[in-house]
Amino acid sequence: MPMATAVSTVSLSGATPTIKMPDESTIPDDERGVAIRRGLQIVNHTYKELPDNVGNQLNCTSCHLANGSEAYAAPWNGLSGIFPIYRSRAARINSLQERVNGCFERSMNGTALDLGSDDMNAIIAYMTWLSQDMPTGVIPEGRGFVKVDKTLEADTDNGKKLYTEKCSVCHGENGEGQYNDDGTYVFPAVAGDKWTAPTLSESDLLESGSD
């Protein structure tokens, strides 16, 4: 995937930055802190907070685990120092706000936020706070998802066995998911009528720090 030439995978010191959730005590006690906390609330309760923008009951952290700060689970750490970035899907430079809206429109099967809205600014404020220890322009180890070995051949019998052993306890025997009383996900559906297939390109997976 083409990327801006300023983006690097290592810092100038040679050390690879570590993806982790900063201590919440570092959230400032001011207007910016209010926005950061609002962003944290939105990403963990997206469907509840923004029902008009989410079409499938997912939350941002349904995919971006551990508040968006778990390596190889599409973390957001460092994104504020990487975007704007070229994305092959759009064949142009995209802002971080546009990338966030890509998730709302595709992964969440919903509608975009206004780019200058308070809620969008809160999400960006939270992602920027997550990135406080990340050098600008550096891609941290663990960005995106674990790469899938495309040379593997499908084995449905083994897949069924692994799903039963490791996945069904959360996602249900038939992939139907689990739900709260208000209709929000405890664990999202991975099959059946309530499952929405994501439309992710290879570039999405590579850029999925905000995916």
CA 45/CA 123 separation, integer angstroms: 12
Q: Are 175 and 43 in contact (CB under 8 A)?
A: no
Provide the pLDDT for residue 11.
41
Provide the pLDDT for residue 94.
96
Element (H, E) at 92: strand 92-94
Choose the weakest-confidence range: 34-38, 74-78, 179-183. 179-183
CA 90/CA 20 separation, integer angstroms: 30
Element (H, E) at 85: strand 85-87
> Is pLDDT at 172 greater than 70 in this prediction?
yes
Choose the weakest-confidence range: 16-30, 144-158, 189-203. 189-203
pLDDT band of 188, cuts 50, 70, 90 = confident
* CA 118 to chain CA mean position, Å: 19
Apex 40 CA angle, 34 and 41, nearest 5: 90
Provide the pLDDT for residue 209.
43
The pTM for the full model equals 0.79
